[in-house]
Amino acid sequence: MSEENAHRPSVLFVCLGNICRSPLAEAALRHAAEAAGLDMEIDSAGTASWHTGKAPDPRSCADALKHGIDISRYAARQVTAGDFQRFDRIVGLDAANLADLRRIAPVKAKARLSLLLDHVPGMEGQDVEDPYYGGPEGFETTWAQVRQAAQGLVAELSVARG
């Protein structure tokens, strides 16, 4: 096995507050990676610190639970400079957060930055809409989008591992 194939892939999902979209993306990728037998490091963070230490939005928790995944113990955190070395990929949930990530990335960052829906054929360049100010239906739409992207990421990483 080559050194590259021995490396455990790592992905960090980033939205604004780390209580709605990015925890759902983390949960979806954990679920998809486990189903595919892919050992990965997966986490989520926010570009803002408003919710640091808090659990995900109750509507995110409820939506994940509808899909058999408990995210109630996740805790929000802010992205750090160290994340750009720790993770292979840092994935923004929308263009604004991706722009913030590009702005704060250290010069010699290891992480490859991308937009989440760039990993879904036909949805490249699109944002995962923030469901925070809406009702439960927005969280279901977010779940559908992050689930599709998680499947795309697993497929990409499985091919890369050979």
> So which residues are the catalytic ones?
15, 21, 130
| Alpha helices (H) along the chain | 3-6, 21-36, 58-66, 83-86, 95-104, 136-161
What is the DSSP secondary structure assignment for residue 112, as one 8-state letter? E
Rounded to 5 degrees, φ, ψ at 3 are -60, -40
Number of neighbours of residue 85 by Cβ within 10 angstroms: 12
Place of tokens 């808090």: 54
